[in-house]
């Protein structure tokens, strides 16, 4: 069972007291997106029903309201190899290890944005999500320019920010604008003795999904109107 904690600041509580999903319906006028209007979400946690997946599912609710297609892949529970720097991807145009990362590459190419979620493990994202991101970004040669990136971190302490930075670097190295929210995109979950998961900060992920939805639609319009900027090699 998942409950919102009520020990949030006054401002955060105000945001939670309103009905966020209803607000999203009233405040936005979702228009059917162009075919690329899809978001790929990666859960880097080994828990398919933990805090990170809860945060990502909260975003999916907003994307649904915004008519944005989504697909979530729980990579954190998979056995995924690290990049071995063989550089075979240069000739193969895909990773030498023909596993889920090559499937993700197709999905990522067809998406207008990607959300990467991870628990904080010793101030870093999980090892598996780092392996996925290293291989996904290194082995794919399609343009990621103007695809929207967002990361969500799940943990409890100040060291969350370094994990957050590590995930965001994949985006700004690749010409991908980063969606932001109303705080560092983090949630904090606590399991009580009865197994109930209390989770705070979900309003941040909802705001993140709203901002990301807007960016995806605005960038699609901008591309049609102005074209994307040229890139010097
Ligand atoms: C190996 C390990 C290291 C962790 N290190 C940190 C940490 O440095 N900071 C923190 O806030 N939480 C840390 N945690 C707690 C997890 O980030 C926290 O339990 C998270 O909510 C789990 O998310 P999930 O339910 O999606 O798996 C650690 C947990 C594990 C298993």
Q: Is the separation of the CB atoms in 201 and 219 below 8 Å?
A: no
> What tens-digit pLDDT sequence spans the chain (233 residues)?
555 443 333 334 333 333 444 444 444 444 444 446 899 999 999 999 999 999 999 999 999 999 999 999 999 999 999 999 999 999 999 999 999 999 999 999 999 999 999 999 999 999 999 999 999 999 999 999 999 999 999 997 777 899 999 999 999 999 999 999 988 888 988 877 888 888 889 999 999 999 999 999 999 999 999 999 998 98
Question: Within a domain: residue 90?
Answer: yes
Ligand 1 pocket mutation, candidates 116, 121, 130, 201, criterion most atoms within 8 A of CB: 121
Residues in contact with 101: Cβ distance below 8 Å, sequence separation at least 6, in sequence order = 80, 95, 132, 135, 136, 139
Closest ligand 1 atom number to CA of residue 43: 26
Decide: helix, strand or coil at residue 171: helix
Q: State how many domains the chain has.
A: 1
**Cα of 119 from ligand 1 centre, angstroms:** 5
C-beta of 159 in contact with ligand 1 (< 6 A): yes
HSE, side-chain direction, 13 A CA sphere, residue 8: 22
C-beta of 199 in contact with ligand 1 (< 6 A): no
pLDDT at 32: 45
Q: Is the separation of the CB atoms in 40 and 71 below 8 Å?
A: yes
Question: Within a domain: residue 179?
Answer: yes
Question: Within a domain: residue 18?
Answer: no
C-beta of 83 in contact with ligand 1 (< 6 A): no
C-beta of 198 in contact with ligand 1 (< 6 A): no
C-beta of 52 in contact with ligand 1 (< 6 A): yes
Assign residue 113 the CATH number of its domain. Answer: 3.40.50.360
Question: Within a domain: residue 20?
Answer: no
pLDDT at 20: 42
Question: Within a domain: residue 203?
Answer: yes
Residue nearest to atom 3 of ligand 1 (CA): 121
Question: Within a domain: residue 63?
Answer: yes
C-beta of 175 in contact with ligand 1 (< 6 A): no
Closest ligand 1 atom number to CA of residue 76: 27
Q: Is the separation of the CB atoms in 70 and 60 below 8 Å?
A: yes
Cα 132 to its chain centre, rounded Å, is: 13
Question: Within a domain: residue 5?
Answer: no
Residue nearest to atom 2 of ligand 1 (CA): 121
Phi first, then psi: give them for residue 151, nearest 5 degrees: -125, 150
pLDDT at 2: 54
Residue nearest to atom 1 of ligand 1 (CA): 121
Q: Which domain holds residue 168?
A: 40-223
Closest ligand 1 atom number to CA of residue 117: 26
Tracing tokens 């209390």 back to the chain, one arrives at: 198
Dump strand ranges (E) for the chain.
Answer: 2-4, 38-43, 69-73, 113-119, 148-154, 186-191, 197-200
pLDDT at 8: 35
pTM over 0.95: no
Ligand 1 pocket mutation, candidates 41, 77, 120, criterion most atoms within 8 A of CB: 120
Question: Within a domain: residue 15?
Answer: no
**Cα of 197 from ligand 1 centre, angstroms:** 14
């Amino acid at each position: 069972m998942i409950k919102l904690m009520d020990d949030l600041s006054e401002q955060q509580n105000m945001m939670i007291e309103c009905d966020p999903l209803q607000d999203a319906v009233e405040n936005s006028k979702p228009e059917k997106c162009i075919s690329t209007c899809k978001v790929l979400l990666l859960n880097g946690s080994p828990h398919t029903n933990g805090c990170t997946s809860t945060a990502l599912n909260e975003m999916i609710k907003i994307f649904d309201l915004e008519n944005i297609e989504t697909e979530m892949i729980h990579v954190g529970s998979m056995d995924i190899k690290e990049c071995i720097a063989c550089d075979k991807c240069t000739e193969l145009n895909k990773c030498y290890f023909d596993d889920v990362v090559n499937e993700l590459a197709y999905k990522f190419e067809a998406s207008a944005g990607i959300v990467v979620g991870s628990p904080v493990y010793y101030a870093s994202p999980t090892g598996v999500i780092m392996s996925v991101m290293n291989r996904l970004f290194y082995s794919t040669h399609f343009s990621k320019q103007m695809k929207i990136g967002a990361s969500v971190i799940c943990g409890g302490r100040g060291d969350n920010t370094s994990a957050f930075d590590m995930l965001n670097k994949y985006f700004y190295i690749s010409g991908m604008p980063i969606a932001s929210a109303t705080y560092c995109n983090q949630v904090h979950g606590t399991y009580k003795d009865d197994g109930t998961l209390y989770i705070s900060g979900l309003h941040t992920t909802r705001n993140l999904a709203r901002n990301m939805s807007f960016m995806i639609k605005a960038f699609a319009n901008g591309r049609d109107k102005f074209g994307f900027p040229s890139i010097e090699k």
